[in-house]
Structure 1
Amino acid sequence: MKKVCALIGKYFGVLAVIFLIIGMTLPTSFSWVLGKVGGVSVLSVLLGIIMFGMGMTMSVHDFALVLKRPKDVFFGACAQYLVMPFLAYVLSTLFHLDPALTVGVVLVGTCPGGTSSNVITFMSKGDVPLSVTMTSVSTLISPIMTPLLTYLIIGQRISFDPVGMFLSILQIVIVPIALGLVVKSFLPKLADTATDYLPAVSSLAISFLIAGIIGASRDAILNSSGIILLVVILHNCLGYALGFFIGHLCGMSWKKMVALSIEVGMQNSGLATGLAKAHFASLPMAGVPGAVFSAWHNISGAVLAYLYVNYLNKRFDSNYEADQKAAAVSPTAAH
């Protein structure tokens, strides 16, 4: 069972694409994702499970870097909440997106970084502690930043309740993460056992969301002439590029720039999908950019990691040779 779960977590990008295809070809197969059981939203439960799993993998040590390297974390948080919201505004304006798609793209931009970024940073030989800390910090401040930035970008054109979104993020994100941290603190053996299965559970939950949202909006997607995919690809890839550039401007080392690039470009698109469904129910297509982004950024992240490891690190990282020698002496030294 552990081996199966490990494979599911490892190949989440492939799984996400498969479920996206299922949503397009069998649109009603995951319609239950958008329904309710006993008056409780299934989608919110799935997001809660994902966030609980994130909490189970976190610890107070993840925030120690805030005190040790406050400058790096500060620049990272600023980049996280400046670059992607800015790109969301520019792309939605440039491509004259309709209100529903604008909402979806903006929500992807204003949500915090996703946990997939930590895995991709590790695969890319970037600064993993910085990546983990940035994800944790951006997630914890998301109840304030996501509604605020969403309101600033679209609040004058599309009506929604930022206070209600704040409360939703507390319920969907902060409470489950806090519960996960509590379990890890007081039941460490249970938490250690659960970590073998949590990546697979989270991967499946996000895949279900993708299939449900894509299936519900299939006809509209087919009539969009590929504009959704194009905007999602540009949003993600420009996020990588600008994140790296900001790291360079801030004088960061190569490993830090790699981490910042990935952290900025990869978003918690599952949360964006959930918020779109909860707060923009009258705009069904609002959840589509988040669903497509979930599938795409795992593919692009894997490709980016391959480029970093096989070409870019070797050529541009001044500490590459030293890290290789350290790794040869101690396999864990380079990390």
Structure 2
Amino acid sequence: MKTLEKVSHFAGNTFAVWVILFAVLSLIFPGGFAWIAPHVSLLLGIIMFGMGLTLTLDDFKGVLKAPVSVLVAVAAQYTIMPLIAFGLAVLFQLPPEIAAGVILVGCCPGGTASNVMTFLAKGNTALSVSVTAVSTILAPILTPALTLLFASQWLPVSAADMFMSIVQIVLIPIVLGIVIRLLFSKQVEKSIAALPLVSVVGIVGVAAAVVAVNEGDILTSGLLIFTVVILHNVIGLVIGYLMAKLFRFNFSDQKAVSIEVGMQNSGLGSTLALAHFSPIAAVPSALFSVWHNISGPVLATWWGKRSEGSSADDKHNKAG
């Protein structure tokens, strides 16, 4: 078990490396990864079940402890990112499938990677976990509704079908995970250390599958999509930070809100795009997964060092 914990810890710490590595490998050898595509929904369900196992009632009590912070972050998540996605789709005159894919990932909730990045940035991790939990629980309603609102001018959107998909691959696995954690807390506690490995394998598999089945389209229009994805993520991080600053949150909360807003559950975006639109519509989500695992650690490292500097200054001032 100790060995598995070490492997899991290593996989979690090097998450970005594996996503990028396998995205490149699937682009070079698409035949080796395309077989994963039919199983993407199952992979995401397993990841969401793992997320449910990590959640406790205290994570939801955090909403009661800091209701304004959670409300602002969730509202920002579901307004800023869809609006930026819509604006970029119009500005770059994206093809219908790609426009729908960009908007879809913009309408997804935050992913568990945002909690890790907030921790590394020395932000308010408890707030981050609460926001991820609440935004994910709201996803069956808000993700289809917002996708219908913003993407229907490019492609037909069945909000009802999308709602059922999210209930099946997100809500039910998370609820099952929470229930099992409540019923078998001691046994689950022993296995939680292995969950980062499950998440890494799942997300890497999803990203690799999407890249593999879209190898040709990525080679021809990948630069355009990647540019849009980078702008989407960076603008979301900046506006999320500025919104938290506007509400006069402390620096720790500002970092949490910024990361929660800017980082999406790209695995969910890929899965829904494959199920309800087309393979090319899943590319923005797959590239988002690659990019935010570059931007997230860079930002977290920079903010983490700033926090250390601030703490050192505070100690020095108190000593003086």
Q: Is the structural similarity TM-score above 0.5?
A: yes
Q: 1:302 aligns to what? A: 297
Code of the aligned partner of 2:139: S
Among 32, 46, 50, the alignment partner of 1:49 is 46
Code of the aligned partner of 1:3: K
Code of the aligned partner of 1:141: L
Among 243, 246, 260, the alignment partner of 2:257 is 260
CA distance in 2, matches of 1:137, 1:217: 32
Deviations 1:236-294 (A, max 9, x none): 111110000000111111111010000101100000000001111xx320011111111
**Structure 1 runs (4+) greater than 3 angstroms displaced:** 319-326
Secondary structure at the residue paired with 1:226? helix
Code of the aligned partner of 2:13: K
CA distance in 1, matches of 2:184, 2:69: 32
Q: 1:23 aligns to what? A: 26
Among 103, 116, 120, the alignment partner of 1:106 is 103
CA distance in 2, matches of 1:300, 1:44: 26
Task: Assess, with a 3 A threshold, how the Cα gap between structure 1 residues 191 and 13 changes in structure 2: closer, same or farther.
Answer: same
Q: 2:282 aligns to what? A: 287
Q: 2:75 aligns to what? A: 78
2:100 corresponds to 1:97: no
Among 1, 5, 9, the alignment partner of 1:2 is 5
User: How many Å apart are 1:299 and its aligned residue?
Assistant: 1.2
Deviations 1:93-128 (A, max 9, x none): 111110111111111100000100111100001111
2:143 corresponds to 1:140: no
CA distance in 1, matches of 2:59, 2:9: 23
Q: 1:38 aligns to what? A: none
TM-score by length of 1: 0.91
CA distance in 1, matches of 2:133, 2:316: 29
Q: CA RMSD in A?
A: 1.7
Q: 2:205 aligns to what? A: 208
Given that residues 108 and 269 in structure 2 are in contact (C-alpha distance below 8 angstroms), is that contact kept between their aligned partners in structure 1? yes
2:48 corresponds to 1:32: no
CA distance in 1, matches of 2:315, 2:173: 38
Secondary structure at the residue paired with 1:189? helix
Task: Assess, with a 3 A threshold, how the Cα gap between structure 1 residues 174 and 102 changes in structure 2: closer, same or farther.
Answer: same
Task: Assess, with a 3 A threshold, how the Cα gap between structure 1 residues 140 and 324 changes in structure 2: closer, same or farther.
Answer: farther
Among 124, 129, 135, the alignment partner of 2:126 is 129
Code of the aligned partner of 1:193: K
Code of the aligned partner of 1:180: G
Secondary structure at the residue paired with 2:182? helix
CA distance in 2, matches of 1:260, 1:167: 29
Deviations 1:136-163 (A, max 9, x none): 0000001111001000001233112100
1:100-249 equivalent positions in 2, closer than 5 A: 100-224=97-221, 226-249=223-246
Unpaired runs of at least 5, structure 1:
36-41, 327-335
Identical amino acids, percent of aligned pairs: 43
Q: Which moved more, 1:207-216 or 1:151-160?
A: 151-160
Deviations 1:143-201 (A, max 9, x none): 11100100000123311210010111000100000110011111112211221111111
Q: 1:330 aligns to what? A: none
Larger helix fraction of residues: 2
User: How many Å apart are 1:323 and its aligned residue?
Assistant: 8.3
Code of the aligned partner of 2:173: P
CA distance in 1, matches of 2:25, 2:48: 25
Unpaired runs of at least 5, structure 2:
none
Q: How many residues align?
A: 315
Code of the aligned partner of 1:306: T
CA distance in 2, matches of 1:323, 1:295: 38
Q: Which moved more, 1:141-150 or 1:184-193?
A: 184-193
TM-score by length of 2: 0.95
